[in-house]
């Protein structure tokens, strides 16, 4: 066999190189006739159409329309995503692909878990299922859900593609475990893509009693679907960990014609539209950042495979923030829209050449209409400059630096319960105490956070603060304010303080997302070690690393630039706190190696380390951001000297602290642009 393979390779090298082909199979399951309508979904059909449009019009590698197969109910011309249709599509695709081809797979729909057909193949004794539209109930005789697509079969079908030499990227916008309750009414806007086992007739006790046997949580989270091997590479993106749920909601935010979309699918397509030639790891990192900045969901997407490869097996490129426009007497037409971060009323610079600096702008255009993939605009005067009557051919329009919105919109709870009525009666006090950056809207309206009363919770008298989806799944890490022990002014002041604290942490993450996380001239690496193993090892940016109490976090930074830089390290805890762990200057060629802190057991959950790098004036003071933490807060401090410092001050940060434990120094540190590197962490209790 080895001799035959080598002979084939020699023959191929003597022939002209075969053109690579790109294929896609997009599956969206929406309506399930065997289930009650309350379990039906609306977003998967929109997901697959969104992905198909991106692949055939804007992907960095060509996807001919006849190479993109849609299986989705509710999409004109597409076959229904039955189990037989999915199997047939995979078989057809496997027969077509050749070595070096690329395959993109997208699964949008319900997932669930069931007792494993072969318990020895699953760490937790459970099979993860993707549910085609023709599923039936659980059968005790067979020990399976009728027509469900089991994780082992999905893995085998992907292995079949890889055995042919194809490179595969699989995206799963479904969830397979976890529970979430919609605590606020928002019509049909929010649904979860997780079907409880009892809806299929599965004994919930048989699922709930399964125990995961991973020895050390730091070794990684078990992916919902296992793929064993093949010659082609493989990368998988999952919308949630196996114990989390993922929602769908109307997107994009604030647009009148918004549609139900999978939050994960929409966010992924946003990132791809802006960073089409990034590595999988960079794309995953940006998805995580947008989840945290926009309060999209509490779930933590999971990324597996060779994350250092460039997406679509393409070539590395830079962020896309400018586009060639068509100019007619009617105005400008731009091949970018809401997916690319554009919005109606936004002003773009018009450039004669894509290589010109912003100062060479010919003029400006204001967007008058924005769709998902396209926008239109009209010339507008800005800074005293008007577009000339005659424009050169092939002008480029460029997205300029956007102003950061540091406000937070909070939806009030619906009236009718004692806690909600107490809060609504104190609304004027709450508005006054909260200040101008907090905006309150009626229950059910679009918002960044939602206030809710949870009668079945451990604190039925409290006002709970939930993410934008209004779904509550981890009450232990969800902020709440009791009402029965407070009069109106006290309730207003306490809730305002809680919301303001959350807003400060949120604004820091917004600023981190806007600044970007990279500077080729300053290398920053975060490392960790455990009490059992004192060897420092790098912390990956994707997938999200898991740390246990007493694990240490260290920073390693090198200044390869020609000028000095200041480095600050901040920590945003799962309790919305902010801690400052380091401020110092690196001269050209300097290296910083420093122990920062170790994880405490006080608060566990989704946490973030931010490393702020700013260019420094050689004789100026070190940029010290310690005022962002409660211990070092100086309300009268004047912040100045750098743009990043001014932006942080404007964000309105202040008082909070984190229950982490500082480490003693274990090493001394022997004009790029400012950057904020952000690393997501999951902190969990030890076994």
Residues 6+ apart with CB under 8 A from 400: 347, 348, 349, 358
Nearest to 513, CA basis, from 647, 345, 383, 642: 647
Q: Is the pTM of this model over 0.75?
A: yes
- Cα dist from 282 to 235, 278, 294, 456, 540, whole Å: 13, 6, 18, 40, 11
Residue 611 has pLDDT above 80, yes or no: yes
What pLDDT, on the 0 to 100 scale, is given for residue 191? 80
Is the Cα dihedral 357, 360, 362, 364 positive or negative? positive
Residue 209 has pLDDT above 70, yes or no: no
Burial (0-12, 13-18, 19+ Cβ within 10 Å), 532 = exposed
Least confident residue range of 216-220, 257-261, 303-307, 473-477: 216-220
- Cα dist from 311 to 241, 278, 279, 422, 658, whole Å: 22, 6, 5, 52, 37
Kindly give the interhelix angle for 418-425 and 488-515, rounded to the nearest 10 degrees.
80
What pLDDT, on the 0 to 100 scale, is given for residue 70? 98
Nearest to 247, CA basis, from 295, 208, 193: 193
Write down the H helix ranges in 223-331: 263-274, 280-294
| 3-class SS letters over 67-82 | HEEEEECCCCCCECCC
State pLDDT tens for residues 174-207: 886 555 444 444 444 778 887 778 888 877 766 6
Confidence of residue 212 (pLDDT cuts 50, 70, 90): very low
Q: What share of the chain is helix, strand, coil (3-state, %, to 5)?
A: 25, 30, 45
Task: Using alpha carbons only, give the angle 351, 357, 361 rounded to the nearest 5 degrees.
Answer: 35
Phi, psi of 473, deg, nearest 5? -135, -20
Phi, psi of 271, deg, nearest 5? -65, -45
- The DSSP letter of residue 403 is P
What pLDDT, on the 0 to 100 scale, is given for residue 12? 34
What pLDDT, on the 0 to 100 scale, is given for residue 625? 85
Burial (0-12, 13-18, 19+ Cβ within 10 Å), 99 = middle
Q: What is the mean pLDDT of residues 448-453?
A: 90
Q: Which helix (H) or strand (E) holds 17?
A: none
Phi, psi of 366, deg, nearest 5? -100, 130
Q: Tell me the β-bridge partners of 664.
A: none
Residue 534 has pLDDT above 60, yes or no: yes
For the chain, give the number of residues. 687
Q: 501 with 514: CB under 8 angstroms?
A: no
Q: Considering all CA atoms of the chain, what is the largest pairwise distance in Å, rounded to the nearest integer?
A: 84
Q: 440 with 428: CB under 8 angstroms?
A: no
What pLDDT, on the 0 to 100 scale, is given for residue 510? 78
Residues 6+ apart with CB under 8 A from 443: 184, 185, 411, 412, 413, 414, 415
**C-alpha to C-alpha distance for 157 and 534, rounded to whole angstroms:** 42
Burial (0-12, 13-18, 19+ Cβ within 10 Å), 229 = exposed
Is the Cα dihedral 351, 352, 355, 356 positive or negative? negative
Residue 3 has pLDDT above 70, yes or no: no
Whether the domain at 24-313 and the domain at 516-683 fall into the same CATH topology = no
Residue 542 has pLDDT above 80, yes or no: no
Taking the mean position of all CA atoms in its chain, how far away is CA 583?
29
Confidence of residue 1 (pLDDT cuts 50, 70, 90): very low
What pLDDT, on the 0 to 100 scale, is given for residue 199? 82
Residue 473 has pLDDT above 90, yes or no: no
Residue 424 has pLDDT above 50, yes or no: yes
Q: What is the mean pLDDT of residues 472-498?
A: 86
Q: Which helix (H) or strand (E) holds 552?
A: strand 552-559
Cis peptide before 517 (omega within 30 of 0): no
Residues 6+ apart with CB under 8 A from 569: 555, 580, 581, 582, 596, 609, 610, 611, 612
Give the residue extent of every domain in the chain. 24-313, 326-394, 408-501, 516-683
Residue 219 has pLDDT above 80, yes or no: no
- In the CATH hierarchy, which fold is given to the domain comprising 24-313? Rossmann fold (3.40.50)
**C-alpha to C-alpha distance for 323 and 219, rounded to whole angstroms:** 43
**C-alpha to C-alpha distance for 646 and 625, rounded to whole angstroms:** 11
Nearest to 240, CA basis, from 172, 308, 188: 172
Q: Which two tokens stand for residue 248?
A: 């769908």
Q: In what order do the strands lie in the sheet with 259-262?
A: 191-192, 247-251, 259-262
Other C-beta atoms lying within 10 Å of the C-beta of residue 346: 16
Residue showing tokens 């000297």:
641
The helix/strand/coil state of 545 is: coil
State pLDDT tens for residues 61-107: 999 999 999 999 999 999 999 999 999 999 999 999 999 999 999 99
Q: 179 with 409: CB under 8 angstroms?
A: no
Side-chain-side CA neighbours of residue 271 (13 Å)? 21
- Cα dist from 433 to 303, 496, 497, whole Å: 42, 6, 8
Other C-beta atoms lying within 10 Å of the C-beta of residue 343: 14
Residue 669 has pLDDT above 60, yes or no: no
**C-alpha to C-alpha distance for 586 and 589, rounded to whole angstroms:** 8
Nearest to 481, CA basis, from 451, 446, 444, 449: 451
**C-alpha to C-alpha distance for 687 and 548, rounded to whole angstroms:** 9
What pLDDT, on the 0 to 100 scale, is given for residue 228? 67
- In the CATH hierarchy, which fold is given to the domain comprising 408-501? Rossmann fold (3.40.50)
Q: 412 with 427: CB under 8 angstroms?
A: yes
**109: phi > 0 → left, psi -120 to 50 → alpha, else beta; which?**
left
Provide CATH code, domain 516-683. 2.60.40.10
State pLDDT tens for residues 297-324: 667 888 999 899 999 988 888 888 899 9
The helix/strand/coil state of 345 is: coil
What pLDDT, on the 0 to 100 scale, is given for residue 320? 84
What pLDDT, on the 0 to 100 scale, is given for residue 64? 97
**C-alpha to C-alpha distance for 572 and 579, rounded to whole angstroms:** 7
Task: Using alpha carbons only, give the angle 108, 110, 111 rounded to the nearest 5 degrees.
Answer: 110
The helix/strand/coil state of 660 is: coil
Dihedral angle, C-alpha 163, 165, 167, 173, nearest 10 °: -30
State pLDDT tens for residues 629-645: 733 222 222 223 345 45
Q: What is the mean pLDDT of residues 544-573?
A: 88
Q: 594 with 582: CB under 8 angstroms?
A: yes
Residue showing tokens 């451990």:
458
**C-alpha to C-alpha distance for 467 and 478, rounded to whole angstroms:** 9
Confidence of residue 44 (pLDDT cuts 50, 70, 90): very high
| 3-class SS letters over 139-169 | ECCCCEECCCEEHHHHHHHHHHHHHCCCEEE
């Amino acid at each position: 066999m080895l001799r035959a393979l080598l002979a084939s390779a020699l023959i191929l090298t003597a022939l002209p190189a075969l053109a690579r082909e790109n294929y896609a199979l997009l599956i969206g399951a929406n309506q399930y006739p065997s289930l009650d309508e309350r379990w039906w979904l609306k977003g998967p059909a929109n997901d697959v159409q969104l992905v198909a449009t991106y692949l055939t019009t804007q992907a960095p590698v060509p996807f001919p329309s006849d190479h993109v197969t849609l299986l989705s109910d509710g999409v004109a011309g597409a076959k229904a995503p039955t189990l037989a249709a999915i199997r047939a599509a995979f078989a057809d695709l496997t027969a077509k692909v050749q070595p070096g081809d690329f395959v993109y797979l997208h699964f949008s729909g319900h997932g669930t878990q069931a007792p494993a057909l072969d318990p020895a193949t699953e760490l937790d004794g459970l099979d993860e299922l993707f549910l085609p539209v023709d599923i039936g109930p659980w059968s005790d005789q067979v020990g399976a859900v009728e027509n469900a697509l089991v994780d082992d079969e999905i893995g085998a079908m992907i292995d079949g593609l890889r055995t042919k030499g194809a490179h595969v990227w699989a995206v799963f916008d479904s969830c397979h475990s976890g529970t979430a309750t919609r605590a606020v009414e928002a019509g049909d806007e929010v649904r979860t893509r997780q079907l409880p086992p009892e809806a299929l007739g599965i004994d919930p006790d048989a699922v709930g009693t399964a125990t995961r046997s991973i020895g050390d949580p730091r070794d990684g989270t078990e992916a919902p679907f296992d793929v064993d091997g093949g010659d082609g590479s493989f990368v998988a993106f999952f919308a949630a960990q196996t114990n989390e749920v993922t929602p769908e909601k109307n997107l994009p935010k604030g647009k009148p014609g918004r549609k139900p979309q999978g939050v994960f699918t929409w966010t992924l397509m946003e990132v791809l539209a802006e960073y089409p030639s990034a590595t999988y790891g960079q794309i995953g990192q940006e998805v995580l950042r947008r989840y945290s900045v926009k309060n999209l969901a509490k779930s933590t997407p999971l990324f597996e495979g060779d994350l250092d490869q460039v997406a679509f097996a393409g070539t590395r490129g830079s962020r896309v923030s400018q586009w060639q426009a068509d100019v007619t007497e009617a105005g400008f037409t731009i091949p970018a829209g809401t997916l690319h971060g554009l919005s109606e009323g936004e002003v773009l610079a018009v450039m004669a050449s894509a290589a010109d600096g912003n100062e060479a702008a010919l003029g400006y255009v204001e967007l008058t209409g924005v769709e998902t993939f396209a926008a239109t605009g009209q010339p507008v005067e800005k800074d005293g400059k008007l577009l000339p009557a005659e424009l050169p051919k092939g002008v480029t329009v460029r997205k300029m630096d956007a102003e950061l919105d540091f406000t937070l919109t909070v939806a009030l709870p619906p009236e009718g319960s004692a806690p909600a009525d107490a809060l609504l009666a104190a609304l004027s006090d709450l508005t006054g105490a909260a200040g101008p950056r907090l905006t309150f809207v009626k229950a059910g309206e679009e918002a960044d956070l939602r206030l809710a009363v949870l009668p079945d919770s451990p604190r039925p008298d409290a006002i709970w603060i939930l993410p934008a989806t209004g779904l509550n799944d981890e009450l232990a890490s969800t902020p709440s304010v009791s009402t029965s022990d407070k009069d109106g002014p006290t309730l207003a002041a306490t809730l305002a303080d809680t919301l303001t604290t959350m807003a400060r942490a949120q604004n820091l993450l917004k600023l981190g997302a806007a600044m970007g996380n990279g500077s080729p001239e300053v290398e920053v690496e975060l490392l960790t070690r455990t009490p059992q193993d004192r060897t420092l090892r790098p912390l990956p940016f994707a997938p999200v690393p898991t740390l246990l109490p007493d694990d240490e976090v260290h920073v390693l930074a090198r200044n390869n630039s020609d000028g000095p830089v200041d480095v600050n390290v901040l920590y945003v805890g799962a309790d919305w706190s902010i801690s400052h762990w380091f401020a110092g200057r690196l001269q050209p060629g300097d290296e910083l190696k420093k122990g920062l802190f170790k994880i405490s057991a006080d608060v566990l959950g989704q946490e973030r380390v931010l490393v702020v790098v700013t260019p420094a004036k050689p004789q100026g003071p070190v940029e010290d951001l310690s005022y962002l933490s409660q211990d070092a807060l100086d309300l009268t401090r004047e912040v100045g000297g750098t743009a990043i410092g001014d932006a942080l001050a404007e964000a309105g940060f202040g008082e909070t602290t984190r229950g982490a434990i500082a480490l003693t120094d274990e090493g001394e540190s022997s004009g790029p642009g400012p950057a904020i590197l952000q690393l997501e962490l999951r902190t969990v209790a030890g076994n």
